[in-house]
Each structure stands twice: as C-alpha cells, then as structure tokens.
C-alpha cells in the first residue's frame, strides 16, 4: 500500500504549494499518486496549473450525492443521516488526472472546530477514511489545518504528517501545536518544511521552536512562486530551486517513514509492543 501523507499548517504558509510539488515529484518517480484537496480554499487545482473551468467541482458541494449517500431525511423531530456512508466508488468517478496525478477535490467543512455533526461532515470523513485506510495509491492530503476532524482510525492510517511553517511566530506556534497533536494521535512520522525563508537565521529560530519536530527542508521566498499563483500556472514549473529543495525534503520524509516501518517490523519480530 502506498504511503499516506497529510500536509497541514497555518493558513497561507504554503501547504498547497508543497502538496502540488510533491504530488508531481512522486508521480515522476513512478508512484501512483492520488492528491486530495481537503482545503476550503480549494487551490490545489490552481497550483497544478489548471484553469478554473477545468478544476473539478468539490464533492462537498454535491448536495444530491451527499443526501443520497448519507440517506439524509428530515421530519418533525429533526434530521437523520448515516455516519458511515458508502463512498468507495467515488474517487474513480470524480478525480481528474493531471500529469499522471489523480486530483480529487473534496473541499472542507468550514465551521469552527474543523468539523460538524452534519451530512457533509460524515461524507468527508468517510471519504478521507476510505482514501487513507483502503486505497493502494500514494495519497497526499492538502488539509485545512490539522487532523482533528478525521477520526482516530484514519488519523492512525496516516504514515506522515507534515507541517509547513513560515518564519513567523504564529505559524511556528500553530506548527508546534498541530505536530504535537499528530504525534499524540499516533502518527508515526511528523516533520516540518520551512517555506518563504529569506534568511538562514530564520531557520535556526524555526528549528529551535519546533519542539523536536525534524525540519525536512526549507524553501526560499520566491517571487516566481508568487507570480505563478497570480498567473494560475503550475508551481512545479515556476521555480527550479524551490522544486529541488522540496525534492530533498521529500527524500528525507520517505527515509523517516521507512525507518519507522523498519522499527515497527523489528518490534513485531521481537514480540514487543
């Protein structure tokens, strides 16, 4: 089964940028990649360089489909819906293949608290669980913030949680908090990528405040990346140095994940926990 990687961090730090570049780098190496946009700002398609009219409509907006799958009904006493709707046929039907990457646009429930007791929430949770626990592809999830709304089983199915962090106190704090939560929830590998870095000293500050979360790599602030967003062209083509830096970070991440797997296997062999 392919690796499952979730990417989080404070708003605007570069989660979608990292996700789109990694998706294409993994695909270029021959991996079967499923990239999931689970972000309310829905910008993964744009980061892939897709024009707005070609970007798939987010599943969260498909009211009829959600009502059908969750069996939603209302009566005088309230609304009823299934908490575990069947969704396993949906990725194939709704993804769009772009440069060998399957892009699945889910969207997100934007209410405070990162989730809601509503049919849309149950539907998204079911789709994320399915893609993380049951699919063979290497899955990259572009997340709105953290993993709190995902449900314990699917969170534990994530091999790596990556927080993107920019040189700024709030971003570093958010990264530390999300990373801590990811570790507490039992995710094997947690790492950080520093983005929009303008000076090396910023990296020291970031490193010292990440509570032991390993820094996988850093990407310099880049006018070309900004410009790519403005022009809606692919980030992958915007800045070779940034792609190179993200490729190194990706290699570090896969090494860390492999090490966790090896330790896990030897623990099993020795009958330990």
Ligand X SMILES: Nc1ncnc2c1ncn2[C@@H]1O[C@H](COP(=O)(O)OP(=O)(O)OP(=O)(O)O)[C@@H](O)[C@H]1O
**Distance from C-alpha of 141 to C-alpha of 185, rounded to nearest angstrom:** 17
- How far is Cα of residue 95 from the mean position of the Cα atoms in its chain? 16
**Distance from C-alpha of 133 to C-alpha of 216, rounded to nearest angstrom:** 25
| Cα 97-103-109 angle, rounded to 5 deg | 155
| Pairing between β-strand 4-8 and β-strand 215-220 as defined by DSSP bridges | unpaired
Q: Tell me which stretch binds Mg ion (CB under 5 A): 15-23, 79-87, 127-135, 209-217.
A: 15-23
Residue selected from 3, 13, 16, 66 as contacting Mg ion according to rule CB under 5 A: 16
**Distance from C-alpha of 201 to C-alpha of 251, rounded to nearest angstrom:** 24
Residue 31 contact, options Mg ion, ligand X, none, Cβ 5-8 Å cut-off depending on partner type? none
Residue selected from 154, 174, 222, 254 as contacting ligand X according to rule CB under 6 A: 222
Strand partners, 4: 139
* Minimum distance, C-beta of residue 228 to ligand X, in the bound complex (Å): 6
Residue selected from 5, 17, 22, 26 as contacting ligand X according to rule CB under 6 A: 17
Binding mask 34-73 for Mg ion (x = CB under 5 A): -----x---x------------------------------
| Choice between 43 and 195, CB closer to Mg ion | 43
Does 24 bind ligand X (CB under 6 A)? Our answer is no
Contact indicator for 92, 85 with CB cutoff of 8 Å: no
Q: Tell me which stretch binds Mg ion (CB under 5 A): 10-18, 79-87, 177-185, 192-200.
A: 10-18
Does 171 bind ligand X (CB under 6 A)? Our answer is no
**Distance from C-alpha of 49 to C-alpha of 192, rounded to nearest angstrom:** 25
Strand partners, 143: 38
How many other CB atoms sit within 10 Å of the CB of residue 259? 12
Q: Which residues in this chain contact ligand X in the complex, by CB under 6 A?
A: 9, 11-17, 39, 41, 43, 195-196, 219, 221-222, 225-226, 229, 242
Q: Which residues in this chain contact Mg ion in the complex, by CB under 5 A?
A: 15-16, 39, 43
């Amino acid at each position: 089964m392919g690796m499952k990687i979730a990417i989080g961090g404070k708003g605007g730090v570069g989660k979608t940028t990292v996700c789109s570049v990694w998706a294409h780098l993994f695909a270029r190496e021959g991996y079967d990649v499923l990239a999931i946009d689970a972000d309310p700002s829905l910008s993964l398609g744009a980061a892939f360089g897709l024009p707005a009219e070609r970007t798939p409509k987010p599943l969260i907006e498909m009211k009829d489909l959600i009502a059908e799958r969750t069996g939603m009904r209302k009566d005088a006493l309230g609304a009823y819906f299934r908490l575990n709707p069947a969704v396993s046929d949906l990725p194939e039907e709704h993804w769009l293949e772009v440069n060998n990457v399957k892009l699945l646009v889910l969207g997100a429930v934007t209410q405070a608290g990162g989730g809601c007791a509503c049919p849309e929430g149950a539907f998204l949770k079911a789709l994320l669980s399915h893609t993380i626990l049951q699919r063979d592809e290497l899955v990259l999830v572009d997340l709105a913030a953290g993993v709190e709304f995902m449900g314990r089983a699917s969170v534990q199915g994530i091999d790596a949680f990556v927080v993107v962090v920019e040189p700024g106190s709030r971003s570093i704090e958010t990264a530390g908090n999300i990373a801590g939560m990811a570790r507490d929830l039992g995710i094997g590998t947690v790492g950080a990528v520093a983005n929009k870095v303008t000076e090396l000293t910023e990296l020291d500050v970031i490193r010292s405040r990440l509570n032991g979360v390993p820094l996988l790599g850093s990407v310099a602030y880049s006018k070309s990346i900004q410009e790519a967003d403005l022009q809606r062209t692919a980030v992958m083509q915007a800045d070779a140095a940034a792609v190179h830096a993200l490729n190194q970070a990706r290699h570090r991440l896969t090494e860390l994940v492999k090490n966790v797997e090896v330790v896990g296997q030897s623990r099993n062999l020795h009958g330990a926990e």
